Amino acid sequence: MANRPPDDARGANDGTNPASPPPQIQTTAGIPLATVYSETDLSGLSPPFESDRDLGPPGTFPFTRGVHPTMYRGRPWTMRQYAGFGSAEESNRRYKFLLGSGQTGLSVAFDLPTQMGRDSDHPLAAGEVGRTGVALCSLDDMEMLLADLPLDRITTSMTINATAAILLAFYVAVADRRGVSRQTLGGTIQNDILKEYIARGTYIYPPAGSMRLVADTFAFCHRELPRFNTISISGYHIREAGSDAVQEVAFTLGNGISYVEAALGAGLPLDDFAPRLSFFFNSHSNLLEEIAKFRAARRLWARIMRERFGATNPRSQMLRFHAQTAGSTLTAQQPLNNVVRTTIEALAAILGGAQSIHTNGYDEAMALPTEASARLALRTQQILAFESGAGDVVDPLGGSYAIETLTTHIETRARAILERVDGLGGMIPAIEAGFPQREIEARAFEHQRAIEIGERVVVGQNRFTDDDERDGPGARVLELHRLDPAIEYGQRQRLAHLRRTRDAGAVGQALDEIAAVARGSGALMPFILRAVNLRATLGEISDALREVFGEYRPK
């Protein structure tokens, strides 16, 4: 008898069994995938795909192929590893370690009390100080965090939202004290409060007060910090909350529309702030869908800025974005598998045209990354940048039948969601009505159910979980990051010392001035900066605003 492959080596779709059609497959957003794509798929789109209209050269409208003509040929993307934990001193050591390992930009994580406007000695901060990021309560803390770091030669991204204006004031005050020109400071504050109401929950004030602070930072940065990105409009957390790729694009750009409208409503000319808008997306595990998602988001935003707001300056039409690999795809089981997942996700961000990238550590499903896993995450980017050739050609998958079809489907579906949002009066009324929250929750439920019943494979979690792997290589991480409990005590001691040694009367007057301006319509940033320089704390400034704006309570 002639040799032939075993049954499990012959698939139903290998051409040997035409009676069994190939299985139907969808992307994570429910877009049906053909087995193979051709020119017919592009011409069958509505409207039909047109290269001149839908692509164009890189660096030109609608920026489908990238925001710069040469992309990574000019220089590699910024390798911006997200880090911050415990005390300012400990985080400073990690930043120096990462910069010494070849990182090209800083990205600061803050603990929950800092994000929520509470000092480390507040009763609600107990047990949370330094846990999810660095505890930062005062100008003194910011000076320790940035000690010996060249602020005029690096860019710093701060993942902070409700208290973004205060953290920005801390950063500027440190630069001023060092004699670093504000004109040279570069970086980003996330400053995206709307996604907090949708997906994350670290809000303080109701939307009106929050949006006023956002617009105020736009105006301040336009006047004082021309190289600073005033907002990083985040789809990352929307995706981590369970959205699919289409929802991530739609709700993120919907929030972007609201920020543009808020800035215009505050009297800022479009071209004064729009070029400094930036975005932050999740790079998830489905390679082709993610590449198409980034391209669709860029094209849709360019069209929104031109069609809806009349932007004619190309820089006001560009969607520049940072990408982070998906934390929600990491598993505690067989954690070394996460290195492979992160590599694929980073590759998607590169092929999709990201301006900066963070790669997760393989141990982050269990703890903050150790130095070893943080170094390996950075090395992953460096291998992709300098060994893979992935960045040698601009938009190398541009013109692919499959990629262009997926890009158009994602753009079309995202635009349809935005039309529903417009029908509700915009993103803020939609959020208050719970529309995006419900849509994301429904998709998250479907995704988790698919994993639990085995329709969606997670290697090492619901498939390929052999018993003999439990103690095999990579089955366990031997070393995890542990938070020193003495950090919280040290923070409390430093705050007590600060309050004893500052001019309490001057601080009280500065806080009263903040509240008075908040009751009116004046610019808040100059008064926040004055209070910071007098050593008012983050919690005290937040409380002064709480007295006026109130606290948000979801309906």
**Phi-psi bin for 193: left (phi > 0), alpha (psi -120 to 50), beta?**
alpha
Amino acid 299 reads R
Number of domains, the chain: 2
* Residue 11 pLDDT class (50, 70, 90 cuts): very low
* For residues 105-109, average pLDDT: 87
The answer to whether residues 516 and 416 belong to one domain is no
The answer to whether residues 104 and 174 belong to one domain is yes
pLDDT digits (tens, 9 = 90+) for 109-152: 999 999 999 999 999 999 999 888 999 999 999 999 999 999 99
The answer to whether residues 535 and 436 belong to one domain is no
Domain assignment present for residue 98? The answer is: yes
Instruction: Tell me which of 330-334, 532-536, 538-542, 551-555 is least confident.
Output: 551-555
The answer to whether residues 403 and 545 belong to one domain is no
Separation between Cα atoms, residue 506 and residue 476, nearest integer Å = 54
Has residue 270 got a pLDDT over 90? yes
- Which residue carries 């391209």 as its tokens? 295
Answer with the one of 406, 439, 455 that is the final residue of a domain: 455
* Per-residue pLDDT, 85: 74
The answer to whether residues 450 and 491 belong to one domain is no
Which residue, among 269, 324, 272, 314, has the nearest Cα to 294 in the 3D structure?
A: 324
Domain assignment present for residue 30? The answer is: no
The answer to whether residues 425 and 497 belong to one domain is no
Has residue 20 got a pLDDT over 70? no
**Report for 39-43, 78-82, 509-513: range of highest mean pLDDT:** 509-513
The answer to whether residues 492 and 400 belong to one domain is no
Domain assignment present for residue 397? The answer is: yes
The answer to whether residues 127 and 195 belong to one domain is yes
pLDDT digits (tens, 9 = 90+) for 495-542: 999 999 999 999 999 999 999 999 999 999 999 999 999 999 999 999
Has residue 369 got a pLDDT over 90? no
* Per-residue pLDDT, 371: 87
The pLDDT mean for the chain works out to 92
CATH of the domain at 424: 3.20.20.240
* Residue 467 pLDDT class (50, 70, 90 cuts): low
Separation between Cα atoms, residue 325 and residue 364, nearest integer Å = 12
Separation between Cα atoms, residue 137 and residue 116, nearest integer Å = 11
Domain assignment present for residue 475? The answer is: no
* Per-residue pLDDT, 275: 94
Domain assignment present for residue 301? The answer is: yes
Structural domain harbouring 89: 58-328+348-360+386-455
pLDDT digits (tens, 9 = 90+) for 425-465: 999 999 999 999 999 999 999 999 999 999 999 999 999 99
What is the residue-wise DSSP string for 81-150? -EE--BSHHHHHHHHHHHHHTT--SEEE-B-HHHHTT--TTSGGGTTTTTTSSB---SHHHHHHHTTT--
* Per-residue pLDDT, 486: 85
Helices 401-423 and 435-452: crossing angle in degrees, nearest 10, is 140
Answer with the one of 436, 455, 474 that is the final residue of a domain: 455
* Residue 476 pLDDT class (50, 70, 90 cuts): low
Domain assignment present for residue 10? The answer is: no
Domain assignment present for residue 374? The answer is: no
Answer with the one of 455, 476, 502 that is the final residue of a domain: 455
Domain assignment present for residue 409? The answer is: yes
Has residue 466 got a pLDDT over 60? yes
Separation between Cα atoms, residue 201 and residue 246, nearest integer Å = 22
Kind of pairing, strands 25-26 and 32-33? antiparallel
pLDDT digits (tens, 9 = 90+) for 477-488: 457 666 677 889
The CA-CA-CA angle for residues 284, 290, 296, to 5°, reads 140
pLDDT digits (tens, 9 = 90+) for 242-255: 999 999 999 999 99
Token reading at 261: 């409208």
Instruction: Tell me which of 19-28, 244-253, 328-337, 396-405 is least confident.
Output: 19-28
The answer to whether residues 188 and 253 belong to one domain is yes
The answer to whether residues 78 and 152 belong to one domain is yes
Establish how many alpha carbons lie within 13 A of residue 465's alpha carbon, considering only the half-sphere containing its beta carbon: 11
Establish how many alpha carbons lie within 13 A of residue 401's alpha carbon, considering only the half-sphere containing its beta carbon: 12
* Per-residue pLDDT, 413: 97
388 CB neighbour count, 10 Å cutoff: 13
The answer to whether residues 168 and 71 belong to one domain is yes
* Residue 106 pLDDT class (50, 70, 90 cuts): confident
Q: Select the more confidently predicted residue: 21 or 532.
A: 532
* Residue 554 pLDDT class (50, 70, 90 cuts): confident
111 CB neighbour count, 10 Å cutoff: 26
The answer to whether residues 411 and 540 belong to one domain is no
- Which residue carries 């915009």 as its tokens? 426
Has residue 223 got a pLDDT over 80? yes
* Residue 9 pLDDT class (50, 70, 90 cuts): very low
